[in-house]
Structure 1
């Protein structure tokens, strides 16, 4: 059976570290702790006193002062690994952790998973060919030498870089090394760790090279493991679930993320908030539990983005110059059908087209596959359509040689509605209000990636009210905007009531509007 030696790098919160060590070693696993030498001496004394009698815990002999982006992080890891290899000869796997990590599966599940998957788990993507680095330096991290800390010695860091660049003092990457990059949170087998340690003693040239690279914790182990281990024995992924914001900062999980975390196809997660006491309690109990079956749905990233992104609704970037200085035309009339149930709006649009012979376009700002004429490339992507929305609409009016055009939009497109409503042309908005059953909302959650086929009923029950409230909020925003020429059809209204609304919206005779409104399957799901 797998026996894990956890490699823990930490620098704060001694109480949490003690609990983490006691929890993870209670199932027969081990832990090697490196506590940052620059951290509180009192905190370190508290940790060593609490854990000194635990035979499954060892501390690194030499503590390092660690700094972000420095070699010190790699050296601290190597020191902890060497201590673990020596102290725990029965350890089969070595798992890299931080003090902010917690298990999101039981020890039983974790051991069985590693027994069934005899691989090294480490992200290792080609440094130059992959897109792992989104912005900033790439080649500069390697070909120049970096002796100073970019955060604490910024002036020296950039002065030294500028000097090397002016003098052309670049260096070669060791010729037999193909640099890789990836997350520092890995899980490696014992034979791999032993090969890595032997490599560090044998290849002094490679060690010298990495000691002065920038952010080597993202490249050192990733490169060496790929250099030493056959590709079919490596799984290029981490077993630790982590997410980053748009600004590259790690996201933090709180008490209400328990169901989200345990449903992910990972063994650990970071970062767990120090204030998430209930989440830590539940995960702690889970780790020691027996016979737990996990339903892996893996919708965590899209669900987290959905929940956290709700706070940004309503924000709008400044209007672009081509929007403020252009117009659809004073004599033109843009008719917008707004509906959350796209299939309902498409039925209405089809009936309108047949009844009025007006040109109609479905969700052109929401569905990239919406049929559009060739307009010189502006229609190719949703991003282009949205960015150049007035120009796009003006070209569509010209293409169809009409002064009246009907389009569909989602209620979430509030900024587009405001923009078109502010144009010098006439804009009419027809909102179609539909009823949303729990079955429909569950299907919607699956379609947009907030849930999967294996998502539990309990998790669905927790997110459905949020989705329903979101849809209600979108509709309320539209009504609160008090658009001129706004009308609303309702699923629970009579065909005659809806016909009156349609007649006014389309400016057609009441009998033609009734022919559209009385379609018996109009609101069917």
Structure 2
């Protein structure tokens, strides 16, 4: 049975550290603590005194001051690992933690998971080929030497960087090393950790290289594991659930996140808010529990993105300079059918084809596989279509040799609607207002990744009002936009009422509009 030695780097909140150590070791696991040398000495004494009689807790032989982006974080980790290897010969795995992490599974579950998966869990992606670094320095982290802390010694940090740039003073990456990158939260087997320690003693050249790289905690262990361990024994993922906001800041979890955290396919989560007393208490009791079954749905990241995205509504893409003066053409008419229920809009378009000789295109800005002609590659991806929407629409008008075109859009595409209505061409819109049953909303949650096959019913029930309100809000935004030539048909309206709106939208007779409105099963799910 697996036994875990937790490697804990911390610098504050001694009471929380003591509780964390007692909880994790009570189940038979171990902990090695490095408490930052720059923190209050009385806090460290308090931790040592409280845990002095716990045989499953040890401390790094040496304490150093740690700084973000510095080698000191890696060195502190190595000190804690060395102590754990020496003190806990029965430890089979070594798991990197911070003081903000908490278990979201039982010890029983974690041990069985590690027994069933004989691998090292560490994010390990090719430094240069992957897109792990989204913005900012990439090669500069490695080929220049960084002696100063970027946050506390900013002037010196950038002065030395600029000097090296001017002098062309770069260095080579060790020839036999492929630099990898990933999250610093890993879980490694004992053999792997022992090999890493041996490597640090024999390869001083590699140690010198990493000691002056920038943010080495994202590259050091990730590179060495890949260098020392066969690829089929590495699972390139972290077992710690963490998310980042659009601004690169870690997402913090609170009391009402308990069920969401338990349903994620991870063993730990960070960051837990210091104020989330109830959450910490419940998770603390969980680790020592037995025979707990977990329903893994893994919808946490998509749910977070959905909920936070509702509060930041803006343009998906800024206008490109060549589009600001472009137009679909003053004599052309673009007709947009808007519906959240895509199958209803597609069903209506199918009937329109029997009434009118006008080209119709389904959700071209929402469905990657929407049938489109070959337009030289501009139609290849959703991103290209959206970024070059006016150029795409002009090409479609020309391809079909028509001055009238009908397309479908999702209500979330408000930015595109504004763009087309601001054009010199004639733009019309028909919104289809549908009823949304709980069953439909649950299906919608599954389709867009807000829920998984095993999402608990209780979670779905809490999610439904949010989804329903979000769909209603999308419709309200469209109506509040005050678009000219806007009409709406409703599932709850009589066919005669909808016929009037259809005939106005399509410029057809009322009788033809009634035929469309009376389409059998038009609104059926």
Question: How far apart are 1:172 and its partner, in Å?
Answer: 2.9
Q: Distance in 1 between matches of 2:72 and 2:312?
A: 38
Distance in 2 between residues matched to 1:4 and 1:441, nearest whole Å: 42
Partners of 1:105 and 1:111 in 2: CA distance: 10
Q: Tell me the CA shift for residue 435 of structure 1.
A: 0.9
Quote how far apart the aligned CAs of 1:6 are: 0.6
Q: How does 1:292-307 map to 2 (within 5 A)?
A: 292-307=292-307
CA distance in 2, matches of 1:468, 1:378: 35
State the 1:4 CA deviation. 1.1
Aligned to 1:449: 449
Q: After the TM superposition, which residues 93-492 of structure 1 pair with which residues of structure 2 at under 5 Å, given as runs?
A: 93-314=93-314, 319-492=319-492
Contact 2:490 2:498 in 1 (8 A): yes
Return closer, same or farther for 1:207/1:314 CA change in 2, 3 Å cut-off. closer
User: Shift of residue 306 of structure 1?
Assistant: 1.0
Cα 1:294/1:406, change in 2 over 3 Å: same
Greater mean deviation of Cα atoms: 89-98 or 369-378: 369-378
- State the shift of 1:315 in Å: 5.7
Over residues 278-304 of structure 1, what are the superposed CA-to-partner deviations in whole Å (9 max), with x where a residue is unaligned?
222221222121100111122222122
Structure 2 distance, partners of 1:142, 1:62, is 27
In 1, Cα distance between equivalents of 2:40 and 2:103:
26
| CA distance, structure 2, for counterparts of residue 514 and residue 390 of structure 1 | 33
Structure 1 residues 316 and 447, CA, compared in 2 at 3 Å: closer, same or farther? closer
Over the aligned positions, Cα root-mean-square deviation in angstroms equals 2.0
C-alpha distance in structure 1 between counterparts of 2:180 and 2:139, whole Å: 12
- Number of matched residues? 525
Which range moved further: 508-517 or 247-256?
Answer: 247-256
**What is the TM-score when the length of structure 2 is the normalising length?**
0.95
Within 2, Cα distance between the matches of 1:428 and 1:177? 60
Deviations 1:27-50 (A, max 9, x none): 111111111111222322332232
C-alpha distance in structure 1 between counterparts of 2:228 and 2:388, whole Å: 51
1:364-417 per-position Cα deviation (integer Å, ceiling 9, x unaligned): 211122222333433222222222323332333333333322111111111222
Helix, strand or coil at the partner of 1:385? helix
User: CA shift at 1:181, angstroms?
Assistant: 2.0
Rate the CA distance shift 1:318–1:207 in 2: closer, same or farther, 3 A.
closer
Shift of 1:314: 4.9
Give the match's secondary structure for 2:462. Answer: helix
**1:149: Cα distance to partner?**
1.3
The answer for the alignment partner of 1:502 in structure 2 is 502
Q: Supply the distance in 1 between the matched residues of 2:233 and 2:372 (Cα, whole angstroms).
A: 48
**Farther off after superposition, 106-115 or 327-336:** 327-336
In structure 2, the CA distance between the partners of 1:139 and 1:512, relative to structure 1 (3 Å rule), is same
1:10 Cα deviation (Å)? Answer: 0.8
Q: 1:42-81 alignment to 2 at 5 Å?
A: 42-81=42-81
SS at match of 1:294: coil
Name the SS for the 2:431 alignment partner: strand
SS in 1 for 2:398: helix
- How many angstroms apart in 2 are the aligned matches of 1:194 and 1:130? 28
More divergent stretch after superposition (269-278 vs 129-138): 129-138
Quote the Cα distance in structure 2 between the aligned partners of 1:278 and 1:461. Answer: 22
Distance 1:498 1:175, change over 3 A: same
Q: CA deviation at 1:317?
A: 6.5
Question: Which has the higher mean CA deviation after the structures are superposed, 175-184 or 410-419?
Answer: 175-184
TM-superposed CA distance for 1:481, in Å, is: 2.0
Distance in 1, Cα, partners of 2:89 & 2:397 = 76
Secondary structure of residue in 1 paired with 2:311:
helix
Deviation at 1:258, TM superposition (A): 2.0
Does the 8 A contact of 2:317 with 2:387 survive in 1? no
SS of residue matched to 1:378: coil
The DSSP-based 3-state class of the residue aligned with 1:312 is: coil
Deviation at 1:185, TM superposition (A): 1.0
Confirm or deny: 8 A CA contact 2:240 2:267 kept in the other structure. Answer: yes
Change (3 A) 1:442 1:164: same
**What stretches of structure 2 of length at least 5 have no aligned partner?**
none
Which segment drifts farther, 105-114 or 156-165?
156-165
Partners of 1:145 and 1:376 lie apart in 2 by 46
Change (3 A) 1:317 1:139: closer
- 2:520 pairs with 1:515: no
For residues 428-474 of structure 1, give each alpha carbon's deviation from its aligned partner in whole angstroms, at most 9, with x where no partner exists.
21111111111111111111111121222112112122111110110
Out of 378-387 and 507-516, give the one that drifted further.
378-387
Change (3 A) 1:345 1:48: same
TM-score by length of 1: 0.95
Q: Which whole-Å deviations, capped at 9, do the CAs of 1:331-370 have from their partners, x for residues lacking one?
A: 3322211110011001111111210112211112111222
C-alpha separation between the residues in 2 aligned to 1:323 and 1:232? 49
CA distance in 2, matches of 1:205, 1:402: 69
